[in-house]
Structure 1
Amino acid sequence: MFRGWNFLLGEIWVLIALAALLGLVVGWLIWGRREVVTGPGDVTGAGDDSEARRLAGELEVCRAQGQEAAARIAALETQLAAAQVAPVEAGPIRLSAPKGGQADDLKLIKGVGPKLEGLLNQLGFWHFDQIASWSEADIGWVDENLETFKGRVTRDDWVAQAKVLAAGGVPD
């Protein structure tokens, strides 16, 4: 059974050596001709180095612009912190507490009961003049934030009633 193995082993070594030699030649042809870049503008190997120099120049310009942008961002952040600018919220003007510590009785507006008055106070509305100054956009904002009472502002015409009450009158 193993009588012809000596011939096969000798032939296999020859084929392995030929394959290795062929691999070295192909590897040299593929990888041996590539350029080696060791630093900006320093190119060794075949070919023109103008492309590498151009790219290195562009890289330096980008780095300089990045440093300028970072400095500008830092300056703007410092200015913003110094100004203590708070983000502007949408909606009508709201107060954290009633003026002079005394709120108007918003229940005098038709359609506003104790629960709705409490909700208006939570939203920052304490006075008739606040409600009297609402625009259409403000009314939309209030309607969105009135939870289960949506549409009451326009349906009961709170703005007109608040204008009368702010002037010291009595609404119809």
Structure 2
Amino acid sequence: MNVNRPENKVRCAIAIWLLSAVVGVTVAVIGYRLGLWALGALIGGAVTLGVMGALMTMTFCRTDEEIEAARRENAEIEARRAKYRAADDDVKAHDGGRPAPVAARPVVPTVAASAPRPAPAPAARPEPAPVEQAPAAEVGTRPVALDGPRAGQADDLKRIKGVGPKLERLCNRLGFYHFDQIAAWTPDEIAWVDENLEGFKGRVSRDEWVAQARVLAEGGETEFSQKVDKGDVY
């Protein structure tokens, strides 16, 4: 078929694409029969159709003018390549075929690092002068105390309401053994005893020891002392 005529070129392309379509369908069917998925078989057939149609169209359906133009283009490309190769040969011949010398790297003199200066020692902070605390002012006035009970016999201070065995021993350590001692305490002395009864501060004022001691020092009885005498308390 003479493809130089336009109508023949179109017919050639149609025939080739029809043939490629038949081959593509055949490939798809064979792939599906061999166990490929339907989508995979269709893709294989489509690729076969496109590649085969394009290659055969470029091979069999080109006109003489297209073939001649392709030849001229190839000849121009080869001519340019030959020109570039000749230019490279001239450069090599001019340089004697030796590679260009590589410039030497400048030598940078090394400078010895100076030893680091020692950090200055931190200045010692002056110690703050100790603050002298003034002694706490003593509350009240200490009552007159005895070194021991008179005639070696102490009064039963537990007969005073608010004085238990532990408080009685504490009073004895402070030098208080008798009712008349407690009965004679002044307000300042009461304040001192209230402050110095460790663990029982304020008991003298709260339980009114002085009033009870006055009654007991005169030989009288209180309701609480009667209970103690009967053994109802301790």
TM-score (norm 2): 0.35
Structure showing greater radius of gyration is 2
TM-score (norm 1): 0.47
More strand by share: 1
More helix by share: 1
